[in-house]
Amino acid sequence: MRVLIVGAGSTGGYFGGRLLQANRDVTFLVRAGRAEALRKNGLQIKSPHGDVSLQPNVITAREIQSPFDLILLSVKSWSLDEAMKDFSAAVADDSMILPVLNGMKHMDMLEERFGAPRVIGGVCQVANMLDADGNIVQLSPLQELTYGEMGGELTARMKQLDSLMQGCGFDAKLSTEIEGLMWEKWVLLATLGGATCLMRGNLGQIVSAPGGTAFIANLFDEIVAAVKRVGSEPSEGFIRASQAMFAQKDSQMTSSMYRDLDKGYRIERDQIIDDLIARGHQAGLSLPLLNLISTHLSVYESGLR
């Protein structure tokens, strides 16, 4: 199976690097500058599971000459439009597009552009960053990639994909409930990202502050209510585990959106917060806490401009 990794950043570069390390047929689609750096310095991964230095096969969009069987898509939400143009020549009738973006808006965009049968569901859990030299630094041992058909079928192509992913140095899971897992991840992203960005601190600092426990509990409840109305209802086990996690006073947990905000980078407000608000408003929900977070992040973004 020929695999195209769209983007060699902290997420795509990590999972693509582990696939390459396991001798899978992997090619990275990157911008010209990143391609030059990777050809010169290789793909460097610094990880609790062991550092690795790889020499990947890299191409730019104009160098795509034939379709790929699997396209693993890992870009920031604002880059999706351009990324779809870049990898369109790699898509055949039987290609699988596996996105690991945040939220659900990207699924609508991909399905509209390439057709729903080509797009499968994906959820990744990994905390990585790029350092100043462009190396991928894994911040915690967690490294999980889950995938499956959006309708829950256990198809032949999913079994083939699962065979490809197994034994590659990360936790690979084939799921028949991937859509529900994607909505549950969105609940976590919106709650943790919204809370840490609004309060400018980690989870433990928020919970320990006066009113902090009630704030994050109310935010979580608001987001769960929205997802129940517009998406897939989270499981009771997920809700209980999340409530316990969001009550931990000693937690150092932050979100990738907060880490980007703290560095003065662009953030995924539209994908993680605003798209959920839009879906909720269309369903008749007011969502006051999410609206407050969106306003706060909009002010931050106006400073970037």
CATH topology for 2-176? Rossmann fold (3.40.50)
Classify residue 140 by its DSSP letter.
E
- One digit per residue, pLDDT tens: the chain, 305 residues? 999 999 888 899 999 999 999 999 999 999 999 999 999 999 999 999 989 999 999 999 999 999 999 999 999 899 999 999 999 999 999 999 999 999 999 999 999 999 999 999 999 999 888 888 889 999 889 999 999 999 999 999 999 999 999 999 999 999 999 999 999 999 999 999 999 999 999 999 999 999 999 999 999 999 999 999 999 999 999 999 999 999 999 999 999 899 999 999 999 999 999 999 999 999 999 999 999 999 999 999 999 97
Instruction: Quote the CA–CA distance of 114 and 136 in Å, as a whole number.
Output: 30
Give the containing element (helix H, strand E) for 223: helix 212-230
pLDDT of residue 144: 97
Decide if 127 contacts 139 (C-beta within 8 A): yes
Q: How many Å apart are CA 254 and CA 256, to the nearest integer? A: 7
How many angstroms separate the CA atoms of 64 and 51, rounded? 30
**Residue 45 is encoded by which pair of tokens?**
């991964």
3-state secondary structure of 99: strand
Please state whether beta strands 171-174 and 136-148 pair in parallel, antiparallel, or not at all (unpaired). Answer: parallel
Please give the CATH topology (third level) of the domain spanning 181-304: N-(1-d-carboxylethyl)-l-norvaline Dehydrogenase; domain 2 (1.10.1040)
Task: Specify the DSSP class assigned to residue 70.
Answer: E
Question: Measured between alpha carbons, how far is 120 from 9 in angstroms, rounded to an integer?
Answer: 21
CA dihedral (171, 174, 179, 185) in degrees, to 10, reads -10
Measure Cα distances from 152 to 171, 181, 251, 270 in Å: 20, 11, 34, 28
Give the strand pairing for 70-73 and 96-99: parallel
Contact in structure between 151 and 180 (CB atoms under 8 Å): no
Tokens of 205: 């600092």
Cβ(145)–Cβ(162) below 8 Å = no
Question: Could you tell me where in the chain the CATH 1.10.1040.10 domains are found?
Answer: 181-304
CA dihedral 272, 277, 279, 285 (to 10 degrees): 150
Separation between Cα atoms, residue 137 and residue 248, nearest integer Å: 26
What gap in Å lies between CA 198 and CA 72, rounded to an integer?
Answer: 32
Look at residue 116 and give its three-state secondary structure.
helix
Residue intervals of the chain classified under CATH 3.40.50.720 are: 2-176
